[in-house]
Structure 1
Amino acid sequence: MTTVSHDSLAGLRDALSSPVTLPGEPGYELSRRMWNADVDRHPAAIVKCHDAREVAEALTWCVERNIEVTVRSGGHNVAGTAVIDGAVMLDTSPMRDITFDTDAGTVTVGAGCLWGEVDRLSADLDVAVPAGAVSHTGVAGLTLGGGIGYLSRLYGMTVDYLVSATVVVADGRILTVSEDEHPDLFWALRGAGHNYGVVTSFTFRYVPLPGLVTIRQALYAAEDRAEVLRFFRDWAPGAPDNVTTYARLYDCPPYWAQVPTAYRGTPVLSIATVHYGDPAAEPGVTAPMFAQATPVYSGLRTVRHVELQQACDDEFRHGIGHYWKHVYLESLSDEVIDLAIDWTDRYPGRPLQSHSGIVHQVMCPFEVSAGGGALDRRDQEATAATSPALPFGANIAADFELREEKPALVEWVKGFADALIPYQGGTYINFTSVQGDEEVARAVYGAKYDRLAAVKREYDPRNVFRRGLVDLTTKPEQG
């Protein structure tokens, strides 16, 4: 693929019915910006597509001229693959329709929607699509990578609820895909979907909301971290499906006035449980997790699901730079716990929480959440998405405001991730900062890789969509 020459830009605008924004024009800077502020790239042109036909028109124009294309929906992907220097960005953000079919129990969502838009309308019906934990995350990117969130232990991954999708493939065809139509492509889209086309709408089954959400949180002093983490290891994966437990290691921000002075600015462990159902039942369910040591801070609140989904939006706000690596862990052995504490204590960054309120989820150096529940029971072969039947998912994260902070933080993330290699078993591709090569793709998708590559050869033999989160080669199958 080649990038767009200046001579071609006028032809692009003349050929398309969609609005085309060029560098220096109003709206260009806003449209090229990603959620991850570390992604600072300049497309040659941005095409605002309002429907599948406009996507097909723009895509065909670029493919015929061998011009690089990328696709943007919500712009929330950590790796920032939606934008490349000198390419044409196909921006689906104008596609914001949301339509409920209450007879079928489904909702059809435009590719430009954010999850908060879906959550707010779903709340009026007391239903939800299981997805995410931050309301300004894009529907398309999260879904195509699998989709996890607060409801995952109860219901599984987002792709488990995808009924059909409209997708524009590399040759410009507009396809409706489902279990009955183009089933191999439908299978591949659900977990490796960034590699196959431009999805313009999604139809999901929704689920009934299982009551209110009670969030209990406690912060523990440095000397209690290992003991509490050992109990978390043994208790959290076997908790009832309606309880998800999160453990986070970080330095307590010095401006958290609710925490006693002696512990501000010192290493702490945060434990948070998210309980769906009758609030009166929550204390009896979660009490064991919080009985292992005396916390330096504790908090409790009960909210609706829609409020939980946006509770941490400020913490994960736009304008912060991120470099992340995610790993599924086979265990939280004493060795892994000691390793995590040691590496977190060496974190070269600083707290970037947005305010003095203590929320259950913050940007932090190390987060580990309990798997199990419906994630263990889901049919691993039904979709391309990988959710290994391992008890823990961990995110190693560096977050920064200034470019000069980045080098030391990236080195720290890579060192920490390397130290965990003997204990890991895969990754969640939506939480990775670096586009993976074929070796990474084989490690992520395992035995599914060859089938994914075969679908790629059928629907995208020229590798037009080569900016997926991992490389799905179009070479012949090996062996």
Structure 2
Amino acid sequence: MTTPTTAEACRSSSASTAVQIDGFRGPLIGPDHADYDIARAVWNAAIDRRPRLIARCIAAADVAAAVRFARDHDLEIAVRGGGHNVAGTAVCDDGIVIDLSAMRAVRVDPAQRSAWVQGGALWGDVDRETQAHGLATTGGIVSHTGVAGLTLGGGVGWLMRKHGLTVDNLLAADVVTADGERLRASADEHPDLFWALQGGGGNFGVVSAFEFRLHRVGPTVLAGPLLWDASDAAEVLRFYRDFVRDAPDELGTVVRFGTAPPLAAIPEHLHWRPVLMVGLCYSGPIERGEQLLGPLRACRTPLLDLVGPAPYAGFQSALDSTVVHGWNYYWKSTHLPALRDDLVDTLVEHAFSGSSPRSYAAMFHLKGAVSRVAEGATAFGNRQASHAITLDAVWRPGEDFGDRDTAWARRFFAALGRYREGVYVNFLGGDEDPGRVREAYGDAVYERLVDVKTRYDPDNVFHHNQNIRPRVLADRS
């Protein structure tokens, strides 16, 4: 069956009937379409949902038309940007998926140091276009992450300590609201909505395009991982704690606990060996970075030192093959304080006890520019936390690690309970206690988000997300 060129939708999960969606020009994919299983798949293969219709938009007008159609036909709505969210909220059962994956255009204005980015773009798309001008903005650590999801949740990445979170660099957003209206949100237009989009997730509308502030970055940075044997983890973490405490904002670090992945750059004899890996990205002058990193590179004699000058865009994709589309993922996460000794001991005790060789924990160093933005200035919460950690159970389809490593992630999370300082909303999974959404923001920011939700989506049309319920519905629950 060929892709429809007219607006065709499916009324049930087993049979399709041609209907018109006024103003929709993109292809529509139903259960009897040859591409249906591909189109409904998301990054996390543990998510297996069957929408009634996938509306693949090619422009903002399609997004508005799809929202109106869904409202008129009382259909559940899920919104897909890059489809990378671990909770799988980009797809729903028996509803409509508003799919922006064909909308990946990026337009850079080097004179204004800004970029206009469509809502289906991936960070690799953005980095490729911006780095052609020696520019970038904070954009995660994996190039196949979607721009929309990462941005709307806040946006942590290698550059955040120097240039702020992704939302700190958001200048404006083109939004389709729950009634199908198209708005532009910025500091001057619908400022309440713009504030909510800066970390409040997909609760307030479908963002068809973003405008970002860009910064001079690279194109060459000093970057790469250092690997130590897991037996050295506690001592290295204590050194790392003191090292990053006074590190300049130009240095971004991510600590990974797990096995050495079988990457071409890693010698084969180290593949699958339990290691502590510290990923580094220094965006300042290379010579200064070499001096700065010297003490860390000398700590406990690493098994492998791959730190060196590298293209920023290339480094952004270096971990892509370790978080593959089509594997199964289960996450637990929390923010953490500075790494005092008892916390280090807890991390090391649990981090290497997963069963799957692909399971890992990743800890992001925050502070810097992240913590210098006042709480409540954006919807991103818990800005004073030192670290964000995600405990990632990973197994391939057909492997029997799922139950064991899901239990490992839960035990590890429970062990971190007394250290918890909020959570990054993009790291929340699909089976979280609803109270964790409030935990991601803090009470004051959460209540303000409820007010914005009540104004722009009083019926909670957009609830396939880490949901913030509007005031009337929240009061009834």
Note whether the superposition's TM-score is higher than 0.5.
yes
CA distance, structure 1, for counterparts of residue 247 and residue 294 of structure 2: 11
Match of 2:7 in 1: none
Q: Is the CA contact 2:382–2:440 (under 8 Å) kept in the aligned structure 1?
A: no
1:8-407 matches, cutoff 5 A: 10=17, 12-13=19-20, 17-18=24-25, 19-210=27-218, 212-252=220-260, 266-351=273-358, 364-402=359-397, 404-407=400-403
- 2:108 maps to a residue whose letter is F
SS in structure 2 at match of 1:54: helix
Q: Is the CA contact 2:222–2:289 (under 8 Å) kept in the aligned structure 1?
A: yes
Residue by residue, what CA displacement relative to the aligned partner does 1:264-293 show, whole Å, maximum 9, x if unpaired? 654322233221222222221012223331
CA distance, structure 1, for counterparts of residue 237 and residue 212 of structure 2: 37
Shift of 1:6: 5.8
Larger CA deviation: 266-275 vs 303-312: 266-275
Change (3 A) 1:178 1:410: same
Shift of 1:172: 1.2
CA distance, structure 2, for counterparts of residue 107 and residue 317 of structure 1: 28
Give the TM-score of the pair, scaled to structure 1: 0.90
**How many matched pairs?**
463
CA distance, structure 2, for counterparts of residue 61 and residue 325 of structure 1: 36
CA distance, structure 1, for counterparts of residue 198 and residue 431 of structure 2: 18
Equivalent residue for 1:427, pick from 403, 423, 426: 423
SS in structure 2 at match of 1:181: coil
Structure 2: which 5+ runs fail to align? 1-9
Shift of 1:52: 2.0
Residue by residue, what CA displacement relative to the aligned partner does 1:386-437 show, whole Å, maximum 9, x if unpaired? 2521222211111110353211111111111111111010111112222645
CA distance, structure 1, for counterparts of residue 474 and residue 266 of structure 2: 58
CA distance, structure 2, for counterparts of residue 70 and residue 318 of structure 1: 19
Match of 1:475 in 2: 472
CA distance, structure 2, for counterparts of residue 152 and residue 178 of structure 1: 21
Give the TM-score of the pair, scaled to structure 2: 0.91
Equivalent residue for 2:456, pick from 459, 464, 468: 459
Q: Is the CA contact 1:92–1:111 (under 8 Å) kept in the aligned structure 2?
A: yes
Shift of 1:25: 0.6
CA distance, structure 1, for counterparts of residue 265 and residue 173 of structure 2: 48
Shift of 1:477: 7.7
- 1:333 maps to a residue whose letter is R
Q: Is the CA contact 1:435–1:468 (under 8 Å) kept in the aligned structure 2?
A: no
CA distance, structure 2, for counterparts of residue 124 and residue 438 of structure 1: 43
Q: Is the CA contact 1:454–1:474 (under 8 Å) kept in the aligned structure 2?
A: yes
Match of 2:3 in 1: none
CA distance, structure 1, for counterparts of residue 278 and residue 317 of structure 2: 19
Q: Is the CA contact 1:169–1:175 (under 8 Å) kept in the aligned structure 2?
A: yes
SS in structure 2 at match of 1:141: helix
CA distance, structure 2, for counterparts of residue 80 and residue 381 of structure 1: 28
Match of 2:438 in 1: 442
Shift of 1:26: 2.6
CA distance, structure 1, for counterparts of residue 362 and residue 409 of structure 2: 13
CA distance, structure 2, for counterparts of residue 237 and residue 434 of structure 1: 33
CA distance, structure 2, for counterparts of residue 31 and residue 366 of structure 1: 30
Larger CA deviation: 211-220 vs 448-457: 211-220
Shift of 1:225: 1.6
CA distance, structure 2, for counterparts of residue 103 and residue 222 of structure 1: 47
Identity %, equivalent residues: 36
Q: Is the CA contact 1:219–1:297 (under 8 Å) kept in the aligned structure 2?
A: yes
Residue by residue, what CA displacement relative to the aligned partner does 1:335-385 show, whole Å, maximum 9, x if unpaired? 22222222123212123xxxxxxxxxxxx5222232221112123322111
Q: Is the CA contact 1:133–1:150 (under 8 Å) kept in the aligned structure 2?
A: yes
SS in structure 2 at match of 1:413: helix
- 1:386 maps to a residue whose letter is G
SS in structure 1 at match of 2:258: strand
SS in structure 2 at match of 1:191: coil
Q: Is the CA contact 2:373–2:383 (under 8 Å) kept in the aligned structure 1?
A: no
- 1:73 maps to a residue whose letter is G
SS in structure 2 at match of 1:319: coil
Shift of 1:51: 1.8
CA distance, structure 2, for counterparts of residue 287 and residue 25 of structure 1: 57
- 1:372 maps to a residue whose letter is K
Q: Is the CA contact 2:127–2:313 (under 8 Å) kept in the aligned structure 1?
A: yes
CA distance, structure 1, for counterparts of residue 351 and residue 57 of structure 2: 43
Residue by residue, what CA displacement relative to the aligned partner does 1:231-284 show, whole Å, maximum 9, x if unpaired? 1122213211111223222234689996695x7654322233221222222221
Shift of 1:57: 1.5
CA distance, structure 2, for counterparts of residue 9 and residue 388 of structure 1: 48
Larger CA deviation: 180-189 vs 295-304: 295-304
SS in structure 1 at match of 2:461: coil
Change (3 A) 1:94 1:258: closer
CA distance, structure 2, for counterparts of residue 211 and residue 7 of structure 1: 51
Q: Is the CA contact 2:174–2:210 (under 8 Å) kept in the aligned structure 1?
A: yes
Q: Is the CA contact 2:350–2:412 (under 8 Å) kept in the aligned structure 1?
A: yes
Residue by residue, what CA displacement relative to the aligned partner does 1:18-38 show, whole Å, maximum 9, x if unpaired? 321111213222211101121
Shift of 1:310: 1.5
Q: CA RMSD of the aligned region, Å?
A: 2.4
